[in-house]
Amino acid sequence: MIRGLSGQHVVTKSNGEDAVAFVPCPLPPEPSLDLSGEIQRLLERAIHALGVLDSVSLLLPEPVILWYAFVRREALYSSQIEGLRCSFSDLLMFEMDNAARAASDDIVEVSSCAAAIELGLARLDEGAAIDNRLVREMHDVLFSYGRGRGKSSGHFRKSQNWVGGARPRNAQFVPPPPAAVDTCMSELESFVHDDSVPYPHLVKAALIHVQFETIHPFLDGNGRIGRILIQLLLHQASLLNQPLLYLSLFFKKHRSEYYRLLDLVRHQGDWESWVRFFLEGVLETASNAVDTARKLLGLMTSDSSKIHAVGRSASTTLRVFDALCRRPITNISDLSERTKISFPTVKNALANLENLGIVKERTGNRRNRVFVYESYMRLLSDER
């Protein structure tokens, strides 16, 4: 099979300077992909791993109990790929009541990335399509706060951007000129909706991700929106009904290979190497997510059993504990609001949980105390 460039080079101008930009050919690739042999075996294993991961949600008392944590894992790792500095603990502390005032721009952006994921999933559940309108809406949420405000959020770019280098002329990669962005994105949208495409949904998601990253339709945030699209495509195809896959961790661990293979598609048309890498990532991440989810479920079941032994206050303590399973870093005000339990009763429940060794107070203060479900946090912070 002979392939070359997966698009064409054109001259573009930026600040009066000529540069060579790359305009991708519409999907699907020509000639057709060779999915035989190793790729087919990986595809079968990846689909099975996603099915196992999705089945874990059936063990939950409520399907959304792990959503908050797993969506934030994906948002965190996706943002870290782009160089943002934020830990899982930083993010949860920020999203706790009244924490925003002391947050860095990086933490604000990671939280906004999680909000963009949740928006996309909610829109799909409402019956919306994965289209350019939704893509722009998620981008607007991504940059609704912090340093991204006012930087064409929610709009395709009207100026030339580039990747690497101080200017387009010496950049590592120059995406299509702004005049070509609308056409490229319309063609990509058509491919997303084309049910006659002769590729499995996982492979189609892999192709769409590369194409979106190559078009780079926004001035900033393209990587994060492109990775959110993977989540939405898997959800829409019913390969993953719950957002429990944090594929960005795999991309983060193999960041140089991730970017190398994106370039290899553009310069040599090597889609197969990218698809193989993508499927390896889905298989590894889904398998690890299953392990993490099962450990979390085991921990919650074990700790719940301990709580049943506290006597008459077990019922309210369990309600507070359930809220901690959803957000493992919190304070009394937040717990009172979310559980609809009075402040003093929440305080007593937390005392029970502290005595059982389930939660720990982090600040040492008498006021504005922060409580952490530490064992839960350790499992979520494990990068595997």
pLDDT tens-digit series, residues 228-256: 999 999 999 999 988 999 999 999 999 99
Q: For residue 195, is pLDDT > 90?
A: yes
Structure-token match 């874990």, residue found: 56
Q: Tell me what percent of the residues of the chain surpass a pLDDT of 90.
A: 80
Does residue 205 or residue 98 have the better pLDDT?
A: 205
Strands, E assignment, 221-327 = none
Do the Cβ atoms of 82 and 267 come closer than 8 Å? Answer: no
CATH superfamily of 7-292: Fido-like domain (1.10.3290.10)
Angle between helices 201-215 and 178-193 (to 10 degrees): 170
Which of 326, 281, 371 shows the shortest CA–CA distance to 42?
Answer: 281
pLDDT for position 189? 98
Both tokens assigned to 58: 């059936």
What does residue 10 show for φ and ψ, rounded to 5 degrees? -135, 155
Strands, E assignment, the chain = 7-14, 17-24, 329-330, 360-361, 371-372
373: pLDDT confidence band, cut at 50, 70 and 90? very high
pLDDT for position 151? 65
368: pLDDT confidence band, cut at 50, 70 and 90? confident
Q: For residue 97, is pLDDT > 70?
A: no
Task: Please state, as a whole number, how many other Cβ atoms lie within 10 Å of the Cβ of residue 375.
Answer: 19
The Cα-based distances of 163 to 8, 45, 126, 322, 351 in angstroms read 17, 34, 35, 44, 52
What does residue 11 show for φ and ψ, rounded to 5 degrees? -85, 135
Instruction: Measure the CA–CA gap between 289 and 291, rounded to whole angstroms.
Output: 5
Q: For residue 98, is pLDDT > 60?
A: no
Instruction: Measure the CA–CA gap between 326 and 354, rounded to whole angstroms.
Output: 18
Computed from CA positions of residues 198, 201, 202, 208, in that sequence, does the dihedral angle turn out positive or negative?
positive
Q: For residue 62, is pLDDT > 80?
A: no
Domain edges within the chain? 7-292, 311-381
Instruction: Measure the CA–CA gap between 15 and 42, rounded to whole angstroms.
Output: 46
CATH no. for 311-381: 1.10.10.10
Structure-token match 């939660």, residue found: 359
Does residue 311 or residue 356 have the better pLDDT?
A: 356
What does residue 8 show for φ and ψ, rounded to 5 degrees? -135, 150
Q: Which residues pair with 236 in a beta bridge?
A: none
Average pLDDT over residues 47-73: 88
Q: For residue 265, is pLDDT > 70?
A: yes
Structure-token match 């080079």, residue found: 9
Q: For residue 366, is pLDDT > 90?
A: no
Q: For residue 5, is pLDDT > 90?
A: no
pLDDT for position 312? 86
Average pLDDT over residues 137-148: 86
| DSSP assignment of 144-155 | SSGGGTTS-TTS
Read off the pLDDT of residues 160-188 as tens digits, 9 standing for 90 and up: 999 988 888 888 999 999 999 999 999 99
pLDDT for position 166? 83
* Enclosing H/E stretch for 164: none
